[in-house]
Structure 1
Amino acid sequence: MHVEPGSCVQRIVGNIKTGVILKDVSMTVHSGEVLAVLGSKGLTVEQTLYHTPTKLTGYLKKSKVKQVMADLALSQVSNRCTDNLTQSEYRRLMIGVQLIKDPVILLLDEPTWDLDPLNTYLVVSILSNTAKKYGTAIVLTMEKPRSDVFPFLERVLYLCLGDVVYTGGTRQMLEYFNAIGFPCPQLENPLMYYLCLSTVDRRSRERFVESNHQISALVEKFKLEGGAFRKGSSITGPNHTLDHPISHGSKVPLLLGRPSSVSTGWTIFVRLLSATLNFKADGIRQIILRLFLLPLFFFFLWTFYREMKEFQHTYVTRNGLIFNCLAGVYFVGILNTILIFPIYRTRYFQESQEGLYGGTLFLLTYNAVSIPFSFLSTAGASAIIYPLIGSFQDTLDYLYFMLILWACYIFTEQQTMAILMIVKDQLSAAIFSIYITCVCLTLSSGILRSIKGLQDWLYYLTYATQTRYAAAFLNRKVFTHPTLNQALAFDSRHNCTNMNLIETSLLNGLNSPYCRYASGQSYLSERYSRDHTDVIFSGILEEDLNIGLTFAFALGMIVFNLFLYLIPLPAFVKAKFRE
């Protein structure tokens, strides 16, 4: 068993030790035998917390460890061996081992057992502060609650023989028992007083029978009149009427009520947004990936293509520019998804197994965070490259250009998320998604290979790909631009003057010594026309159809994922995601 290797800085100056915990350890035990594992512990307080399995690593985990130690008043003993801790310090360390995992709910069985009054007060007050600070629900059992911990307990549940004597707000407890004729005497500890009231007295048969009848009466009383108190509402006046009876009989839920889907979704959304918009290392990394990676790639494209001239070779050059724009959007979408999504996917799998929320709600909230970022990123990237392929003053054409690229980004992001649903390894998922995208770009875009040159079955297969419609839209926008839809010279010294001769030579299968394309329309005909019809007015280059279907693929992939994440995973797939 190995621990995390740590960075060079951690190994040189850090106090977190790294290396091997267990070496070639094997053991045998048979049924009916007792095997004792003996040996000294040796890990310190800080090391115990650091080596607790969590999703955090490196600096983030070290910061979390220091924060938990500060919250639990363990900073002063961080380097002390666990064997040398006091009972109170060891209890707090065990609580810290659970808190380092950032739990939604923390269950503690007698965390103050056998502690002196001062340390009991310290532990309960720390738990109260932790619950408020991190929003963690803490459920603890106490056999002998002291009066000084009363202010730190928001709710209380009294159980006797499996039945509920009272559950609800701690402060409303006094009012409830006073209303049913059991006021707490002055100077008495109310927690212990009502605990004794809810305990069977076994000192004699008469007391046993009497206490049983009393507890049964208290249970029935609470079933009939304790509904409002169970909800923790503040009720004033001794003569109030209680309704809302407990409908679940004697079974008491530990979490009172289930948050609505809107509330849960909002919580997940805020958590995702706060994980992205922060100045920690992971937050900065996500901002760079989500907002600046695609514009950076398009800036590099701009440096290579900014010197394009209006000669014959510009048809091939602009064709390559369109291809690089599409490929860049697709591959950056895959890269961002592979580097960002798996962290949230792992947490979703963990929390969905606990019944907190489902896959559809998770994807809706994730898309609510991701899609606006992709829109801003694509808008910035498009603004960099669009002046090279069109008139920047034409705002509508720029908007179309940007929307096409944005739809492609969304599609490939959703495609990769679908693959990550069943493929845990990020590299395998990335390779698979890139392979699919490369096949579609090669066969369906009409850029690397002419559409009209495809076999019939491949040609009809392209109708099922987004790249066909996105590339067709961009090619039409670029090559029907007035700058290109005319006879262009071969270079600065050779001009094309006799267009009829050129067109005749092309039809006869001969190449002009200088000019291959009479116009942008002739270039499009070579790439897309499978017959002699006007390619511009044929369905394959129809603008509204192409932009509509490009977005239809993106939206369809989103809907497909929403249904995909509703499907229960097979056991062998779930096993891959257990961490």
Structure 2
Amino acid sequence: MISSDYILELCNVFHSGQVEPGSCMQRLLGSIKTGVILKDVSLTVHSGEVLAVLGSKGSGKKALLDVISRRVQGPTRGQILLNNQPMSLSLFQQRCGYVTHKCDLIPGLTVEQTLYFTPTKLSGYLKKSKVKQVMADLALSQVANRCTENLTKSEYRRLMIGVQLIKDPVILLLDEPTWDLDPLNTYLVISILSNAAKKYGTAIVLTMEKPRSDVFPFLERVLYLCLGDVVYTGGTRQMLEYFTAIGFPCPQLENPLMYYLCLSTVDRRSRERFVESNNQISALVEKFKIEGPSYRQNSISGHHNMDHGTLLSHGNKVPLLQGKPSSFHVGWLLYLRLLAATFKFKKVGFKQLFLRLFVVPLFYFFLWIFYREMKNYQHTFVSKSGLILNSLAGVYFLGILNTIIIYPSYRTRYYQEAQEGTYGGALFLITYNLVSLPFSFCSVAGASAIIYPLIGTFEDPIQYLYFSLILWACYIFSEQQTMAILMIVKDFLKAAIFSIYITCICITLSSGILRSIKGLQDWLFYLTYATQARYAAVFLSRQVFLSPSMLETLSYDLKTNCTNMNSLEMANFNTNPYCLYKNGQSFLADRYTRDNNDLIFSGILDFDMNLGMTFAFALGMIIFNLFLYLIPLPTFVKDKFRE
């Protein structure tokens, strides 16, 4: 081994875990079926080499990668060493990379931006130079300014590899990097990986289910797995010698990789073939345990004769725990990435800007059209109450709508990047809110300017500001509530339905608009104190119905004047078929009081309390989400976002 060489070694690794998919309830109850997945796996791979892990579905290929990356759940025995140092989770996260089978990159970002905004210690000119170098190595330079959603399968797969190569890993794991690619692109991806291994001195371990013969020259080592057992591991060219020596020569004009893969696969087409192939594989496994160690240890790639200059950017030995980029640096990159994806003058960027800035004002413009002819008559009490309801429901439901459309792509990317240990949920939420909150404030303030003239005048800008702030707080609450649900619910439609259902219940019971609070049972009445809709609706109702124009007795229409009723009619004011409410205060008393106490002194209309509690709910939901995203989630919840 030369001084700058790296060796990844697995010595007698056993792993037990889940052997078949289980339902969510089975996982929670711990009743899933488990078994031995990897059995006595040993392998060696040097820097600059490509090791292909071959096997049929269920052979344990992905489990092997998860064991090396320390992501696996379940008991594991044996040693995983990098230059004779135990492979810990921190070591893997800082010095290695893992390209999963599926990776959801952020739509709207170009290839160059995706690489540049990947958190690493590099910055400035060095980061830009590294990005250009990686794009050139992966044949992505010609699509540098193309958005991720417009890439071909091959380009997207190569970009996924580039996201890891930009971090300069010493070990790079890839789960099925050529899956669903045509032969030409399969050859391109494997040749690029081989060149990258030589150039950067990276040891590459990849899985393949159907290897083609044209990739044979690029694979220095190969590992055949069958139901967790090792059939062969060692040099690719020595593989031919080994199988010939034990009586299984590869026929001429056959693809040796595929031929020996078929030899290592259980034939399930009939019971006789199953028994025969199973016995044959068991014999091959036992044979390799006896004769295989020499093939596993020997290097056949000419690796020892490599020039020292070809192993770039690595020191003489693996520095353990080099440290991560600072939280400020990572947060700044995440913030810039969010802005870049939002202010993109392409379809995705326009959609985000429209949702963030113009959906709420557009909805309020339609409200203005519907309510603009509203006059001050008795029916105005119901009309303005409906306007308050629609204003509240608008910000609540549009906050949910915007969140379920915009947020899931960033959330899924966070779950995938969090596996690499670069940043946590709190930092992710802080950067997302720093982008989202200013947009939502501008959107709600603009919407409020459209609808506010129907309930007040701009002569008192403070009241307009309060009106805007209350609606903004409701928007924030619904946004954060939906983000909390999306933490564990992958399907955005299910999350939206659940969030809307909760919001509808709160508005119906607590706002006092659809039904009077006085009609609620005691336990429901006290439950309304735990909802934001109660305080927001009361604040807006107070602002509307205690205004000077609503404190006078309103006429029923142009012909029926409620101010000229006789004393008997005044005594039965609330039962009068024409004049239901004496003024705005009596309307509020009908909606929000449960006894005959003076409404002003009952505390329900307290200005400061309602304003403070509305914002307390919004701020509390933000803080709750920060803590929620710090709680370790079950692995099966995380898996559904990254796979």
1:360 and 2:409 matched: no
1:252 and 2:319 matched: yes
**Does the 8 Å CA contact 2:490/2:641 hold for their aligned counterparts?**
yes
Q: 1:427 to 1:106 in 2, by over 3 A?
A: farther
Q: Equivalent residue for 1:520?
A: 584
1:393 and 2:465 matched: no
Matches within 5 A, 1:24-43: none
**Does the 8 Å CA contact 1:268/1:365 hold for their aligned counterparts?**
yes
Q: 1:275 to 1:502 in 2, by over 3 A?
A: farther
Matches within 5 A, 1:328-343: 328-343=394-409
1:140 and 2:202 matched: yes
Q: Equivalent residue for 2:104?
A: 55
Q: Give the AA of the match of 1:55.
A: D
Q: Aligned to 2:550, what secondary structure does the other structure show?
A: coil
Matches within 5 A, 1:22-421: 53-55=102-104, 71-72=136-137, 74=139, 96=158, 98-99=160-161, 105=167, 107=169, 140=202, 153=312, 155-158=313-316, 164=317, 252-253=319-320, 256-421=322-487
Q: Equivalent residue for 2:601?
A: 537
Q: Equivalent residue for 2:637?
A: 573
Displacement of 1:529 in angstroms is 1.4
**Does the 8 Å CA contact 1:52/1:100 hold for their aligned counterparts?**
no
Q: Give the AA of the match of 1:301.
A: L
Q: 1:358 to 1:63 in 2, by over 3 A?
A: closer
**Does the 8 Å CA contact 2:555/2:579 hold for their aligned counterparts?**
yes
**What is the rounded CA distance, in whole Å, between the counterparts of 1:534 and 1:146 in structure 2?**
91
Q: Aligned to 2:202, what secondary structure does the other structure show?
A: strand
**What is the rounded CA distance, in whole Å, between the counterparts of 1:35 and 1:52 in structure 2?**
16
Q: Aligned to 1:293, what secondary structure does the other structure show?
A: helix
**What is the rounded CA distance, in whole Å, between the counterparts of 1:60 and 1:366 in structure 2?**
16
User: C-alpha deviations, 1:355-402, integer Å up to 9, x for none?
Assistant: 111111111111111111111111111111000111122100000000
Q: Aligned to 2:314, what secondary structure does the other structure show?
A: strand
User: C-alpha deviations, 1:497-536, integer Å up to 9, x for none?
Assistant: 33544431136xxx22421111111111110111112213
Q: 1:264 to 1:94 in 2, by over 3 A?
A: closer
Superposed CA RMSD: 3.9
Runs of 4+ residues deviating >6 angstroms? 34-37, 57-65, 67-70, 75-78, 92-95, 147-150
Q: Aligned to 2:563, what secondary structure does the other structure show?
A: coil
**Does the 8 Å CA contact 1:330/1:409 hold for their aligned counterparts?**
yes
Q: 1:480 to 1:93 in 2, by over 3 A?
A: closer
Q: Aligned to 1:467, what secondary structure does the other structure show?
A: helix
Q: Aligned to 1:526, what secondary structure does the other structure show?
A: helix
> Unmatched 5+ residue regions in structure 2?
1-38, 41-53, 58-99, 115-130, 144-153, 173-190, 204-302
Displacement of 1:554 in angstroms is 0.6
**Does the 8 Å CA contact 2:538/2:605 hold for their aligned counterparts?**
yes
**What is the rounded CA distance, in whole Å, between the counterparts of 1:139 and 1:316 in structure 2?**
74
**What is the rounded CA distance, in whole Å, between the counterparts of 2:544 and 2:499 in structure 1?**
28
Q: 1:391 to 1:252 in 2, by over 3 A?
A: same
Q: Give the AA of the match of 1:527.
A: R
**Does the 8 Å CA contact 2:138/2:162 hold for their aligned counterparts?**
no
User: C-alpha deviations, 1:109-130, integer Å up to 9, x for none?
Assistant: 79xxxxxxxxxxx989x979xx
Q: Equivalent residue for 1:556?
A: 620
Q: 1:505 aligns with which of 567, 572, 586?
A: 572
Q: Give the AA of the match of 1:532.
A: N
Larger Rg: 1
1:455 and 2:516 matched: no
Displacement of 1:285 in angstroms is 1.0
**What is the rounded CA distance, in whole Å, between the counterparts of 1:401 and 1:97 in structure 2?**
47
Displacement of 1:489 in angstroms is 1.1
**What is the rounded CA distance, in whole Å, between the counterparts of 1:257 and 1:109 in structure 2?**
17
Displacement of 1:54 in angstroms is 4.0
User: C-alpha deviations, 1:448-489, integer Å up to 9, x for none?
Assistant: 000111111110000000000000000000001111110111
Displacement of 1:416 in angstroms is 0.6
**Does the 8 Å CA contact 2:512/2:591 hold for their aligned counterparts?**
yes
Q: Aligned to 1:567, what secondary structure does the other structure show?
A: coil
**What is the rounded CA distance, in whole Å, between the counterparts of 1:328 and 1:390 in structure 2?**
19
Displacement of 1:432 in angstroms is 0.5
Q: Equivalent residue for 1:116?
A: none
Q: 1:514 to 1:103 in 2, by over 3 A?
A: farther
User: C-alpha deviations, 1:167-188, integer Å up to 9, x for none?
Assistant: xxxxxxxxxxxxxxxxxxxxxx
Q: Aligned to 1:156, what secondary structure does the other structure show?
A: coil
**Does the 8 Å CA contact 2:109/2:340 hold for their aligned counterparts?**
no
Q: Equivalent residue for 2:496?
A: 430
**What is the rounded CA distance, in whole Å, between the counterparts of 1:451 and 1:483 in structure 2?**
25
- The structure with higher relative contact order (CA 8 Å, sep 6+) is 2
Displacement of 1:95 in angstroms is 8.8
**Does the 8 Å CA contact 1:72/1:96 hold for their aligned counterparts?**
no
Displacement of 1:442 in angstroms is 0.2
Q: 1:558 to 1:386 in 2, by over 3 A?
A: same
Q: Give the AA of the match of 1:156.
A: H
Q: Equivalent residue for 2:250?
A: none
Q: Give the AA of the match of 2:314.
A: V
Displacement of 1:59 in angstroms is 9.7
Q: 1:284 to 1:554 in 2, by over 3 A?
A: same
Q: Aligned to 2:443, what secondary structure does the other structure show?
A: helix
Q: Aligned to 1:157, what secondary structure does the other structure show?
A: coil
**Does the 8 Å CA contact 2:379/2:556 hold for their aligned counterparts?**
yes
**What is the rounded CA distance, in whole Å, between the counterparts of 2:340 and 2:478 in structure 1?**
25
**Does the 8 Å CA contact 1:442/1:448 hold for their aligned counterparts?**
yes
Q: Aligned to 2:319, what secondary structure does the other structure show?
A: coil
Q: 1:476 aligns with which of 527, 534, 542?
A: 542
Displacement of 1:264 in angstroms is 1.6
Displacement of 1:58 in angstroms is 9.6
User: C-alpha deviations, 1:526-547, integer Å up to 9, x for none?
Assistant: 1011111221332111111000
**Does the 8 Å CA contact 2:378/2:581 hold for their aligned counterparts?**
yes
Displacement of 1:280 in angstroms is 2.2
User: C-alpha deviations, 1:78-103, integer Å up to 9, x for none?
Assistant: 9xxxxxxxxxxxxx999936436676
TM-score computed with the length of structure 2 as normaliser: 0.57
TM-score computed with the length of structure 1 as normaliser: 0.63
Task: Specify which structure has the higher proportion of strand.
Answer: 2
Q: 1:97 to 1:70 in 2, by over 3 A?
A: closer
Q: 1:258 to 1:377 in 2, by over 3 A?
A: same
Q: Give the AA of the match of 1:564.
A: L
**What is the rounded CA distance, in whole Å, between the counterparts of 1:102 and 1:271 in structure 2?**
17
User: C-alpha deviations, 1:116-170, integer Å up to 9, x for none?
Assistant: xxxxxx989x979xx9xxxxxx7636755559869xx5x3322xxxxx3xxxxxx
**Does the 8 Å CA contact 2:539/2:607 hold for their aligned counterparts?**
yes
User: C-alpha deviations, 1:35-92, integer Å up to 9, x for none?
Assistant: 789xxxxxxxxxxxxx984425999899999x999845858999xxxxxxxxxxxxx9
Q: Give the AA of the match of 2:576.
A: S
Q: How many residues align?
A: 405
Q: 1:282 to 1:453 in 2, by over 3 A?
A: same
